[in-house]
Structures are given as C-alpha cells and as structure tokens.
Structure 1
Amino acid sequence: MSSLNVLLRKEWRENMRNFKLYWIPIVFIIFGVIEPISNHFLPEIMKSVGNLPEGTEFTWPEFRGEDIFVSLMSQYQMIGILIIILAFMGSISGERKSGTATLLYVRPMSFAQYFLSKWIVVNVVVLASVWLGFFAAWYYIGILFNSVAAGEVFTFLGTYSLWLVFAVTVVLALSAWLSSGGAAGLSILILLVFQIIDGVVGAYWTVTPWKLSVYASTAFGASADQSAFWMSVGLTVALIIALVFFGIYMTKRNAAKTLV
C-alpha cells in the first residue's frame, strides 16, 4: 500500500507539472459557463446577426434548465471525450517510449499498483473537471432559467460519472496495450464512433454502456426502463473491472518493450 501511495503522489505531481490538473478543469468549466449563457441570449444574437427579413417572426423554443444540462452533456460527450483521449492516451505507452517506466519497474512495486495509480488519479482529474463544469452551468442555469432540483442533478451526475470512468478505463487499458497513436485511434472508435452508431441504430438494444448518457438524462423526469438501466450499470461496472485487469496484464506484458 505504501508503494501505491508513492505512485499516487508521483502521478499527482506529474499532472501538476504538465498542467493537466489546471487546463482540463478550465476547459470543462468554460463549456459549462458558455452553454447556459449562449442558449439564453441566442434569440437576441440571431436577431442582431441573422439578417432576417424585416417583420419576420421566429418562435424560439423555451429551454428549461434541465434541457441545458442535457445539451451540455452532449458537448462533453464529443469534445469532452476527445479531450480525455488526447490528454491521457500516452499515460502508459508514453512512459514506455520515453524510458521513464524503466525507473519505476526496477522499484519494489507491482504492475497492478502502477496501473491503478494512473487509473485513480486520471479519474479524479476527469470527474472533478466534469463536475466543476456542471456546477458552473448549474449556477448560471439558476440565474438565467429555472431552478433544477439538487436530487435530479446529482442523480444525473452519478449516472454520467460511471460512463466517464468507463471512458477513462478504456483509454488507459489501450495505452497499456498499444502505442499512443494506436490507443488514440482505437479509443476514438470505441468511445466516439460507437457512440454515434448507438445513437443511430441503438433503438434495437437497451443494455450497453453507450446508453448511460441517455439514462442520465432521464433523471430530469423522463421515463426509463429501470431493468435496462440497472443492467447497463452492471454491464458497465463489469467491463470496467475487466478492462482494469486487462490493462494491468498488458502493462506487465509490454514492460520488456520499454526503452532504456
């Protein structure tokens, strides 16, 4: 356990030195602030720059605060996931390529501790960043739109956080297996392309990790099949555990490829 604590501190300091601990939260907070403000002032913006013919009347939909949360989640689902992939695709493969991992492998630690230290710290950074982004949005939603119940917000965030943990685990497991470029490409396929496919033809199935964002939005009063929801949660947790073990195995297997 002492080795794990040392590795956790090492990972935390590394994320501070490369500024991921700062710029990733800032990016998510900026999106969280922009989403409610831009939606609130969108009618005025379109009237001023839309070049609509004089006398044209256009009825804009009346957004609720709950709609803004779901809209922001859609932004995070594409841009946010891409940020996570690009920021952490080289977490393990990059250390193999640079030779940094050699300095760690010769120390009294296990490959499980090495992988888990990265998994824990990256999840902390990602979840804290996303939650700060949603909290920033929540503040402006309360000012510009309607008040959203705390219970609904935390249910929404809890469900969506499980998807984020799955996304982080995919990226790190692939980083342990492949090069940084390979991890990025396959992560984009699994997390972004499959997400698009699920959105297009996903009506034919209800149990999948890619449905968690949909189930998260049902926290705001929409109906959902609870059995499918809990089966998706169980499947996602099982996949996360399997990916963690896979990542540990590939970290150990590829240790010999580390440059000296």
Structure 2
Amino acid sequence: MNGFSTLLQKEWREHTRNFKILWIPLVFIILGILEPVTNHFLPEIMKSVGNMPAEAEFQWPEFKGEDIFQSLLGQYQLIGILIIILAFMGTISGERKNGTATLLYVRPMSFRNYFMSKWIVVNGIVLGSVWFGFMAAWYYIEILFNHVDARELFAFVATYSLWLVFVVTVVLALSAWLPTGGAAGLAILIALVLQIVDALIGTYWTVSPWKLSMYASYWFQSEVDMSHFWMSSGLTMLLIVILIVFGIFMSKRNAAKTTV
C-alpha cells in the first residue's frame, strides 16, 4: 500500500461510491445558476407575488455581472463552506472510528501518501465543483447581464480557490487530529466564525487568509493596491504547508486509536 497511485484510486472509488463526486458539484452548479437567474427576474417575481399596489413604483438596483459573482461568492462562503465541512469532516477520523483504517494500517504504508492522497482528491472535488459553479453562473451572466472579462474572472476564481484549499486542509488536518464531531465544530469555528470576526473587526489588520474572499473581488476593480493580497496569499500557502505536516503527523500518531 505504499503506492501513492493506489491510495489515490482508493480515495476516488470511495467518493464515487458515496456519490460525493456527483452531488457536491450539483449543489455548487445549482447555486451558480440560481444567483444570476434569480437576480434578473426578481423585480417580476416581486411584482407578481409581492402584493404591491398597482400604482406603487420601486427602483430596483442595476446589477452588473461583477456584482452577481460577488453575491454568489457570498453564497459559497456560507452554504459552500458548510457543505465542505460536513461532507469531509470524517475523512480520516471516520475511518478510524468504523475500523476501515485497520485494513490500511496493518500494511507497510506511508502516512504522507495516505494524507496527501485524501488531500488531492478532496481538493479536486471541491475546486472542480466551485469552478463548475462559477462557469455556470458566467454563462447566465453573459446572457442576462453584461460581459465579464475572462482574465478578471479567472483571477477572481483562482484567488477564491486558494481560500478553499486552506479550508479543505483545515478540515482534513482536524479530522486527522480529533474525532469527527470535534473536527466539525473546530472547522466551523475556524472557517466560518473567524470569518465573521474578521468582517467585524478586520480593519485592524490587512494580511489574513480570511481576507482572500474580499481580495478576490478586487480583480473586478481597477487601480486597487494588491500588495496585501499577495502577502495574504503567501501567508495562506505557508499555513497550508504547516497544516499538511500537522495532518500527516496526527494521522500517524492517532493510528493506534483505530477501532479493530
């Protein structure tokens, strides 16, 4: 079981059997389609079901495609992050609890390959889902709103993807360290609660992984200082490496806790 490719195939088959490679992309794609469609038809929807007087007039804001992408990012930041945490919180701890890991640990196995195989497959599912979701939104934005420059869009999504890699790494490292419930609770604290804290009092600092979603929107703006973005990206990549090392270490250390 030392073969890295063997472990990758094992992870892929597992997520295929539990349909995560199907339903997770579908959720992100549906959210990506609903955001531009709903915002485009919202005035008509409110007129038909809002019980407003016939003579009443309400000026709806004029949304641009860039605004829709930022609104969709907000959806992903809440619903998407919760899906990632709940879907993958037991990736390692769950195998220890149900005894599946016993079949792996009794063989001469590299825990680095073990952790990294999960990290690569989970990131592939998450990033693929998010990119499909944004591409679906882009298609409808081009039809219903205005043209959005491809270079700006790809920079926007790539920046957000770095944040998602950080979230995935946090979830897997915590799963290697804690039982499933504890991993989920602490991951929600790190990914969601600290994000809210950063939004409330984050004006006191400018370099943080939790600011990447904000810096992603800067790609749609002209003449914005991106120096803090590059510093935040560098810090995030450093933290990802540290969390990977921590996850590998805890996977090996907690191997003895596997249910037999």
1:173 aligns with 2:176: no
1:246 aligns with 2:246: yes
Give the C-alpha shift of residue 109 in structure 1: 1.7
2:17 is matched with 17
2:236 is matched with 236
Give the TM-score of the pair, scaled to structure 2. 0.98
Describe how 1:1-260 pairs up with structure 2 within 5 A.
3-260=3-260
More displaced, 2-11 or 128-137? 2-11
In 2, Cα distance between the equivalents of 1:224 and 1:242?
30
In 2, Cα distance between the equivalents of 1:73 and 1:150?
17
In 2, Cα distance between the equivalents of 1:208 and 1:51?
45
Give the C-alpha shift of residue 224 in structure 1: 3.6
Give the C-alpha shift of residue 222 in structure 1: 4.9
In 1, Cα distance between the equivalents of 2:252 and 2:197?
33
In 2, Cα distance between the equivalents of 1:224 and 1:94?
45
In 2, Cα distance between the equivalents of 1:215 and 1:227?
10
In 2, Cα distance between the equivalents of 1:8 and 1:258?
21
2:61 match: secondary structure: coil
The amino acid of 2:60's aligned partner reads W
1:100 match: secondary structure: coil
Q: How many residues align?
A: 260
In 2, Cα distance between the equivalents of 1:19 and 1:173?
23
2:3 match: secondary structure: helix
Give the C-alpha shift of residue 225 in structure 1: 3.0
In 2, Cα distance between the equivalents of 1:108 and 1:207?
42
More displaced, 218-227 or 120-129? 218-227
Q: Which structure 1 segments of 5+ residues have no match?
A: none
In 1, Cα distance between the equivalents of 2:17 and 2:226?
44
In 1, Cα distance between the equivalents of 2:84 and 2:222?
29
Contact residue 25 and residue 130 of structure 1 kept, 8 A: yes
Contact residue 2 and residue 108 of structure 2 kept, 8 A: no
Give the C-alpha shift of residue 223 in structure 1: 4.8
The amino acid of 2:73's aligned partner reads M
Contact residue 2 and residue 109 of structure 2 kept, 8 A: no
Distance 1:222-1:186 versus aligned 2 partners, 3 A rule: farther
Distance 1:257-1:2 versus aligned 2 partners, 3 A rule: closer
Distance 1:81-1:223 versus aligned 2 partners, 3 A rule: farther
The amino acid of 1:225's aligned partner reads D
Identity rate, percent: 71
1:229 match: secondary structure: helix
In 2, Cα distance between the equivalents of 1:49 and 1:114?
54
The amino acid of 1:54's aligned partner reads A
Distance 1:223-1:199 versus aligned 2 partners, 3 A rule: farther
Give the TM-score of the pair, scaled to structure 1. 0.98
1:118 match: secondary structure: helix
Contact residue 3 and residue 108 of structure 1 kept, 8 A: no
Give the C-alpha shift of residue 54 in structure 1: 3.0
Contact residue 96 and residue 255 of structure 2 kept, 8 A: yes
Distance 1:222-1:80 versus aligned 2 partners, 3 A rule: farther
2:101 match: secondary structure: helix
Contact residue 215 and residue 224 of structure 1 kept, 8 A: no
Give the C-alpha shift of residue 108 in structure 1: 2.5
